[in-house]
Structure 1
Amino acid sequence: MSPSSPSSAATTPAAPRQWTVADFDFELPPDLIAQAPAAERSASRLLDAGPAGGDAAPVDRIFRELPHLLEPGDLLVFNDTQVIRARLYGAKDSGGAVEALVERVLAAADGAHSLEVWAHLRASKSPRAGQAVQFRNDAGESFRAEVLGRCGPENGLFHLRFPGDAFSLLERFGHVPLPPYITHADTAEDARRYQTVFARHPGAVAAPTAALHFDEALLAALDARGVQRAAVTLHVGAGTFQPVRAERLEDHRMHSEWFEVPQATVDAIHATRAAGGRIVAVGTTSLRALESAGRAAAQAGSDDPLLAGARETDIFITPGFEFRVVDRLVTNFHLPRSTLMMLVSAFAGCERIRQLYDHAIAQRYRFFSYGDAMLLSRR
């Protein structure tokens, strides 16, 4: 065949698809947005998507069946962050009402108590540097916070100095930072249920919601099954609820979050891989921490699949992302047009996720933070 024959001509690779936010939209009946958790943590429903690459109908299960869907030697990786009481109510000296949502408690340079925070402030007129805000609790107590100025991405946050340890003051004066789609005021029950049973490190302003389904009985059943456990810490920020405003995904700017992958978790992942087990991330926050550590290893030219340590991440996982660490994912159902909808589509495949969400809506699964969960395999 001659070199000029059409059959031997080189083919031009197809250009990668240009994804837009509309590709991750869907219609959700408002009554499927869970306003309260299930009566028992592990009594939530679990949509089992089946093995990777399959297109069989998903199986409707109860979350406490999870141990039977995993194999002995698999490794569950949890996010052990603790949700802080990050929402504060108060007033400026002028009398104008102020609502604050603390985004981050800043570590003190000398290792002493943390006095400074970054916060979102809602007020009829934004306070200026040097002004003070008086925050109050239901007992009539109050404290004054000094506004140091604006800070953070695009100057969208306020830098505040508290008169004492920030974590202690938030615990005493703050409210549970429920997501914007939960319409009731926070209660004592929310303080318990919008927190995982293994929360250890305070700093999150949103819960790692897939982990809310685990209770002590389920953890014991996983142990009995021979499923291993490890932890990462990622302090979930309020940016997790922010909509994607850019039409093209490549134009979206992700918020940054602090995370840590301990060396013990890296060692557990190595051991699991060597024994033929699977790495199962509990929630998108655990996945983002692990894959961020994987990206750090790749950028450092390391042969290891991931690097231990603490760092910031603004990883934006969209279709086409090359996963290095996670094999399976336990996750709740996410908002339309959200970065997390894009993440699960990258993980399990866009068409498969659309099928699963159609099924979940038809079967009236409960959505978002207090809702039900699904078990996905990497495509």
Structure 2
Amino acid sequence: MATMPFPTISPMSCSHTFRTQSLQLPTAFARSRVGLGSWSPIRTSTTERAEVVSEDARHLQAGIAQFYDESSAVWEDIWGEHMHHGFYDADSSVSLSDHRSAQIRMIQESLRFANVSEDGTKWPKRIVDVGCGIGGSSRYLARKFGAESVGITLSPVQAQRANALAAAQGLAHKVSFLVADALQQPFPDEQFDLVWSMESGEHMPDKAKFVGELARVAAPGGTIIIVTWCHRDLGPGEESLQPWEQDLLKRICDAFYLPAWCSTADYVRLLKSHSLLDIKSEDWSRFVAPFWPAVIRSALTWKGLTSLFISGQKTIKGALAMPLMIEGYKKGLIKFAIITCRKPQ
């Protein structure tokens, strides 16, 4: 399939009070920036609001694509082909080799949590990897299930590298990758037995549209697995996060090209709105605790430091924000969530 070019534009910033935004339409982005970290409603026509949404979306897409164009080679060189957290035993102390095993375990535990059958007659035959990185999950799942898999990413560099790795591993006949928008997936309805999103939901500016697309491309009876960064669930009577929480998330957003965050409860509500079945979720924060400290340690090695400076400003900016992720986890603001469900037959 043909890839789609993305413009070179600086990314947008973000807001963090998802509960106060619409869960149905991307109206949360019909806003204007009036000061650092602040947003206020604007009175515009429907056409003007649509143009604001479209422009913000293009800015965000470009920033995400450029960030991963720059950083993916650094990550692969140090951490390998899986661009996501590892799953660890609570309070474990691990080495770099263990981290790579933990990344595989994250895939395995996600499949287990979603009750993906070990019965070969019930294995998924068609898989989509939404936000595929350099294709580590796609290739693992294709080998495990003997399935055909397609991955999508906003980064042309990632798509090219993912296809090269598939060819090198003898999987080009089973796995392919293309540049595409997860909010407008280039697939017909009801195509995939397994819809996989491993740490891509946090990049989606319209969570309702994101979930809607996952549900749309899932085949009847298909499984949807979302593993993503969330903020904590809001308590009774809370309309938004506290100001210090919003400020911390904004600083992370600016470094990692993230739009508005949402909670696990928000994802569950969105999935319910599509009449999906067997919806369940869990906070896995305790199982990923060793990850960010290990990434920081790897960045502070001679190899890590030289790779960062060669890769470019966006990668360096992201590296400097890693302690903020640790702070968010420790203070209970950031949650590493898994949410799974099944499409009705």
Larger radius of gyration: 1
Using the size of structure 2 for normalisation, the TM-score is 0.24
Using the size of structure 1 for normalisation, the TM-score is 0.23
Bigger strand fraction:
1
